[in-house]
Each structure stands twice: as structure tokens, then as C-alpha cells.
Amino acid sequence: MSISDEARAILNHNWKEAFTIPTSKLYPFQWMWDSGFVALGNRHDNVERSIEEIKSMFTGQWENGMLPHIVFHSENEDSYFPNHDFWNCHVNQGAPVSVKTSGITQPPVYGFVLESLLSSYPNHPKVINLVRECFPKVVHYHQFLYQYRDPNQEGLFFIYHPWESGRDNSPIWDEVMSNIKITKENIPPYIRKDTAISDNNHRPTQDKYDRYVFLLELGKKHQYDGIGIAQESPFLIQDCMMNAILIRSNEALIQIGEAFGIDTEELKSWQALSRSNFESKFWNEDLAHFVSYDLRNEKQMTHKEIGGYIPLFAGLASQSQALSIKSYLQSVHDRGYYLCPSFDVDSPLFDSKRYWRGPVWPQMNWMLYHGLKKYNFDKLAQIVKSDFIELVDKLGFYEYFESKKSHVEKLTTGYGGNNFSWTASTYLDFKSKI
């Protein structure tokens, strides 16, 4: 079997009638940004599946527009913590009744996912119907972010849980997380399930998990409603990557709206505000890097990390900012790392095997590749693509990968979950001609 055929077999195996799970046991439900990337990979061989995937995701949308990070299509699976009972989303009257969900969101990828499907299939009736059907839903989701998550009306939304960022245990969150004091009284008892399935050394540590549970409970206390959370949460971050992805997705919606004759005035005014505040809030001249902003403590979070390169994907960097990011990434490559490590390789907090503290992540390479192409950095874009392909060819379809080349030489597997959907879908997308 060719490696691309293996990727197809993984996507078939993880397909559960109307949606794809990231991997069995570790993540046995539908995850929001995973599904977006899976839809991109599936479009080449099975666009009908991409369509169903996206429709399934939107069955979890809340009345206020929020798109949850997990849709629990099945309630019997018990290998994941926190399950639907623990989230108890019905504290919010607008949570869907037909399906259980989590109470937080994830990177807003669906605008650009719809655009990508449409650009591959501009005349496919089912794709066109999907885009017409989902367009207002994605706009409603973006409206939720602007309405509930942007208390100062800056056009930049906040997250209140590291899981929302997708980069759960990145060192960028360490300082804020360590200021949360955990006691027996302020979190309920719980049992992790992830470390029984995946290597403990590759997963977030226990002290992080306690804080994930603390922030989940804080959300629940406020009916998962952004406004009360903005007043109370110690973790209140305008994440540079999340906002760059929102802007990229807004841009996609504006293009689609114009092509379909749909009114885009509201989208354009959100977009203008977001774009105008992005650079002043997130660019750090000393680091020559985009960084996130701690809204609770009103300061930039001065770390170099992978989220800081995603503004390229949204065309938010000036030519000189893009050039300095490019030369930094080139130096990381020249020093013996696979692109792209998820955290600053020169920091003492870098850990090349622990989740978001250093490893290479498939979907990040996808966004980075397209970001570098946008600025015509074609050679570096090819490295980002071929590094990922080389890691998969050598180590298999894992959730994430060792970033240090000298370590990879001694390894036979990647890290985290195996037979991972977004790894398979990114592989197929990179190998395709589209």
C-alpha cells in the first residue's frame, strides 16, 4: 500500500457515518478545527464526505452563534475526559438540544475551509449548496466572537481557556496559568483519561490539567457566556493566531459573499476594525515577531511561538515583518530542526516532545505553507511541506512529531495519537495538485 493509500485508509477508518473522529480512544468525537482540516484533505477523493463533515459540525452550533470545540455525537464512548456530562452545556439555554457539545470554541477555520472547497469545485452543485447553507452560519459564529468575546470592541476576540487556542500547553500560557491557585475546593474531583492512552511524557502535565478544569468550571458558572467570563477569568487572552485565522476566514467570506451576491457590509466593517488593531496589538518590534496579548493584565506575551507566524496566512504582515519571520524560520531550519517547531527552540521552556512546547504539528505546517506562499517565499514553503511529508514517511501518521532532526534519527514513531485524521488529510492535501 502506498503512503497516500494508508492516509486514505485512516480517513476511512476514522469516518463515523457523518463525521470524522481525530483518532479512536484519545479523541473519539468530532473536534472543530480537526474537522475543518479533514474536510480539506478529503476533498480530493471524496468531496461528498467533506460536505457531510461540515454539516455535522454545524449541528453543534449554539443559538448565540458559538461553534463548540467538541460535538459529542455519541454519548456511550467513555474513553475521553471531560465528557458531555462534565461540560453540562445545558446551563446555557441556547446550547443545542439534539446533540451534546463542549462549552468552548476553537480556531475559526470554517470561512477559509468553505473557500478552499469552492475553489476546488466552483461548479459542483452540492458544494455550492453547502456554501450557501453554511455561509450565514459561519457569519453568525464570527458575530458571536465579536459580540461576546470583544469587551472593548477592538475587533480582536479573547479566549478564556487554552484548549480554545488549540495550543493547549504552549509555554505562552505558563505565567497566566501559574497564577491560578488550585485548591481542593475550587475544582471538582476528576480522572484524566488521556494519559492511560498516550505517553504521559508527551501530554500536558497534571498541574496544567487542574487549571484546564478550573477554567472549564468558570465557564460553566457563567453559562459559557463571554460577558461574565470577561469580568472574572484570570485567563483572558487575545490570541494572535486565533485572531489571524478569524481575519483570514472573514476575508474568505467576503470573497464568497461578493461572488454569490450576498450582502457583506457587516463583515467588511468587522474586518476593517480587526485589521486596523491587529498590528498595534500583536507586533513586537524587539522580538521581530507577532505575539499574543494578555487582556487581563494588559500586556503582550513576549514569546516566539508558532501562532506568531500565522498572520502570514492572513496577509497581515508587512513586507519587512514577513522578511524577518522568514529569516528566523530559515535559521531554525539551518540549525537542524524540522519546520516548524511549535515553540522557540532557544528558550529553556522548549521541549521537543511535549505537545505544544516544541513538536511539529500537521495543520500548522499547512497554514504556514500557505502563508509563506502568499509572500512568495516559495523555497521555504517547500521546506515546510517536505519536512512534514518526510516526518510522516519516516514515522507514520501521528498527531505530532519530534522537531529536532538529531532525535528523529533515533525514533521509529511520532508522538500522541496514532492513525490521526488531520495528519492523513494534510498529507493528502500536500500531495494533491490542487
- Return the active site residues: 168, 399
Q: If residue 39 lies in a helix (H) or strand (E), which one and from where to where? A: helix 32-42
Q: Which is nearer to ligand DGY, 34 or 53 (CB)?
A: 34
For residues 332 and 327, give the distance between their C-alpha atoms in angstroms, rounded to a whole number.
9
Cell of 170: 504552549
To which residue does cell 505546517 refer? 365
- Least distance from ligand DGY to the Cβ atom of residue 102, Å: 7
Backbone angles phi, psi at 246, to 5 degrees: -60, -45
Count the neighbouring beta carbons within 10 Å of the beta carbon of residue 48: 12
Residue 210 or 279: which CB sits closer to ligand DGY? 210
Residue identified by cell 477508518 is: 13
Please select the residue that binds ligand DGY; options are 37, 87, 146, 163, rule is CB under 6 A: 163
Distance CA 38, CA 147 (A): 29
Distances (CA, A) of 329 to 115, 146, 156: 28, 32, 26
The CB-nearest residue to ligand DGY is 163
Nearest-approach distance from CB 8 to ligand DGY, in angstroms:
25
Told to check if 239 binds ligand DGY by CB under 6 A, we report no
The DSSP letter of residue 169 is: T
Of residues 237 and 380, the one with the C-beta less far from ligand DGY: 237
C-alpha Rg value of the chain to the nearest Å: 20
Q: How many residues bind ligand DGY (CB under 6 A)?
A: 3
Which residues 66-105 are close enough to bind ligand DGY by CB under 6 A? 69
**CB closer to ligand DGY out of 69 and 333:** 69
Q: Which three cell numbers stand for residue 115?
A: 473557500
Say whether residue 34 binds ligand DGY (CB under 6 A): no
Binding mask 296-335 for ligand DGY (x = CB under 6 A): ----------------------------------------
Q: Which is nearer to ligand DGY, 144 or 361 (CB)?
A: 361
- Distance CA(338)–CA(344), nearest Å, equals 13
Backbone phi and psi for residue 4, each to the nearest 5 degrees, phi listed first: -65, -40
Min dist. Cβ of residue 271 to ligand DGY (A)? 28
Using the rule CB under 6 A, is 168 a contact of ligand DGY? yes
Q: Which residues in this chain contact ligand DGY in the complex, by CB under 6 A?
A: 69, 163, 168
